[in-house]
A and B are shown apart, each in its own frame.
Chain A
Amino acid sequence: MRVLSWLYLAVAYAFVFLPVAVLVAFSFQDGRLPVPPFRGLTLEWYAKVLGNDDLMAALGNSLLVAVVSSAVALSLGFLAAHALARVRLPGSALMRGVLIAPMTVSYLIIALGLLTVFNYFGIRPSLWATGIGHVVINLPLCFAISYAAMGDHQRSAERAARDLGAPEWKVLLLVSAPMLAAPLAAAFFLSVTFSWDEFIIAFLLTRFDVTLPVEIWSMLKSGLSPATNAMGSLVFLVSVTLVILLEILVFRRAK
């Protein structure tokens, strides 16, 4: 039985990670096609990818959109969560529901909706438009994480801060937000990873300046190449780094 369970674990991990492992392995392929047989190791494709200005510009764009849209989504989500957790309003439950609802809508539908609305108002597809789209998809996540983290402990600390003379914005900035540092950082990093590899919204809402997933997609149109694998590996590396940072900075400290 013990052997079987280990075997099951190995198979499960292989199922999840084999595609990534293959992708990474063939990014070192010394040949023109990222398919077996494996012909030997080379860093040529990485050099090529890192020397490609379009790709590097797209990488910069992606980082910019991810960080800015996540910061905006987190600020708005945190403020909304704080208000709905602290103040009793008529229809609070409905407001919470409406804020979280976009999570259940497919990115394609959100992208099409935004495209229509932006067209109507004469807003051109751009990184800004994509950033707004990413705020739309990440706001519900940031709201839900912030809202779940708010508790009575924090409420009484906020009360003490007001009692000691803090105006409301200082209560938020000096007490509420720092007390929730760990969950807020988790929400931020998750938002960044979601924005980082989001494709459909970015594809429909960018034109000349594109994000990395869109650039990779246009590379794929010209056929398979180990260069695409190299780029994919780099993207994967960034995501993994974010997750490790999250683990070290947030969850370790929370313990």
Chain B
Amino acid sequence: MTAGVSIQSVFQRYGSAVALDAVSLEIEAGEFVVLLGPSGCGKTTLLNIIGGFAEPTEGRVLIGGRDMAGVAPKDRPTTTVFQDYALFPHMSLRDNVAFGLRMRGVSRAARAARAEAMLALVGLEGRGDRRPHELSGGQRQRVALARALAVEPEVLLLDEPLGALDLKLRRNMQEELKAIQRRVGTTFVHVTHDQEEAMAIADRIVVMNAGRVEDFGPPRQVYLHPKTLFTAGFMGEVNRIPVVGGQAPFGPVPVPDGTLCLRPEAITATGSLHIGLCKVEDAAFFGTHVRVHVAPLTSPDLRLVVHLPQAAVPEVGAVLDLGAEAYVVLQA
């Protein structure tokens, strides 16, 4: 069971504050969509509106083509994995996972079997008799996921579900989330402020800022061809170079006027967009790459961040001939 979500010019206002400003999105059935943005950008508000925990001030939300206006969370085809897991501490894992089925009148035996199957799906087979307090954070997260998926929702909402986990566990869980999503085929709408997490799991990323959708597309597109300066900066580090009348500070460039955005790893010795000779100011080995700050000889006040390949051993003071392989020009 899976369904698309259509969000049509949704506004959310709290007094004079605007939490969501004319948000429109078409999420397709079976898609893994990540709402990405800094805290306070409205991503959680949007998730709450889809889940029915808040009613939009204006606009419509359709799930599987049905208008959700006035439909309570319990009657929506959505379930949520909460940031704090919100497991029921007085119930065994089996009863936690089976809770939604119990509310739907499924017989005890059938829901126990289904709960075991769901626990197996998240890698906790045979632990149905345990209590939530006996589990680690990552395991609790899995139980919350199993509980939300047990009722076969059409859309699963995930509210920063990996926020409380340490980095290594978070990376593992990302892969697992993605694999589980492919297996069950449910539409996943996942909220996070971590752009690496978003790129790791999303089919499409919705970049949000100040209540608006800044960008919406596959990770590659959002990272390499951002629509706005905000997206460019939020998705990763970027060198911003003003271009006026075909002139960048380091010389003429064959691009329209605006802000030329260069990712540090897109600047190489062979790049086609010629920057020219640059002096190395400092360099640091980061494992996967060497991070250096350079200043073009033609414009010594400009600082560019460049990620050179692991094998490069740039001396401070050395002069490199650099160019950009990929770039975008954005208007402020």
Interface, chain A (partner B; CB < 8 A): 153, 156-157, 159-167, 170, 174-175, 178-179, 181
Instruction: Decide: A157 near B88, CB < 8 A? Known: A163-B80, A164-B79.
Output: yes
Is A160 a contact of B103 with CB atoms below 8 Å?
no
Is B74 a contact of A165 with CB atoms below 8 Å?
yes
B56 close to A (CB within 8 Å):
no
Instruction: Decide: A161 near B51, CB < 8 A? Known: A166-B103, A167-B74.
Output: no
| B147: min CB distance to chain A, Å | 7
Among B88, B89, B151, point to the contact of A165 (Cβ < 8 A): B151
Instruction: Decide: A160 near B74, CB < 8 A? Known: A165-B104, A165-B151, A166-B103.
Output: no
Is A170 a contact of B51 with CB atoms below 8 Å?
no
Provide the residues of chain B in CB contact with A175, threshold 8 Å. Answer: 88
Provide the residues of chain B in CB contact with A166, threshold 8 Å. Answer: 74, 99, 103
B28 close to A (CB within 8 Å):
no
Is A181 a contact of B74 with CB atoms below 8 Å?
no
Number of A-B contacts (CB under 8 A): 59
Among A153, A165, A181, point to the contact of B103 (Cβ < 8 A): A165
Known pairs A161-B88, A170-B103. 5 more at Cβ < 8 A? A153-B84, A163-B51, A163-B73, A164-B99, A165-B100
Q: Mask for B285-328, Cβ within 8 A of A = 1, else 0?
A: 00000000000000000000000000000000000000000000
Of chain A, the residue at the smallest CB distance from B157 is: A163
Majority secondary structure, A binding face: helix
Provide the residues of chain A in CB contact with B87, threshold 8 Å. Answer: 157, 160
Please list 25 pairs of residues, one from A and one from B, whose beta carbons are closer than 8 Å in the complex, sorted by A's number.
Answer: A153-B84, A156-B82, A156-B84, A157-B87, A157-B89, A159-B86, A160-B88, A161-B88, A161-B99, A162-B72, A162-B74, A163-B51, A163-B73, A163-B78, A163-B79, A164-B79, A164-B100, A165-B74, A166-B74, A166-B99, A166-B103, A178-B88, A178-B90, A179-B89, A179-B90
| B36: min CB distance to chain A, Å | 23
* Alpha-carbon distance between A179 and B75 when the two chains are bound, in angstroms: 24
| A163: min CB distance to chain B, Å | 5
* Alpha-carbon distance between A162 and B318 when the two chains are bound, in angstroms: 64
* Alpha-carbon distance between A166 and B86 when the two chains are bound, in angstroms: 15
9 interchain residue pairs of minimum CB distance: A164-B100, A165-B103, A160-B86, A156-B86, A178-B90, A165-B74, A163-B73, A163-B80, A166-B103
* Alpha-carbon distance between A179 and B73 when the two chains are bound, in angstroms: 22
Provide the residues of chain A in CB contact with B75, threshold 8 Å. Answer: 165
Is A179 a contact of B88 with CB atoms below 8 Å?
yes
Provide the residues of chain B in CB contact with A162, threshold 8 Å. Answer: 72-74
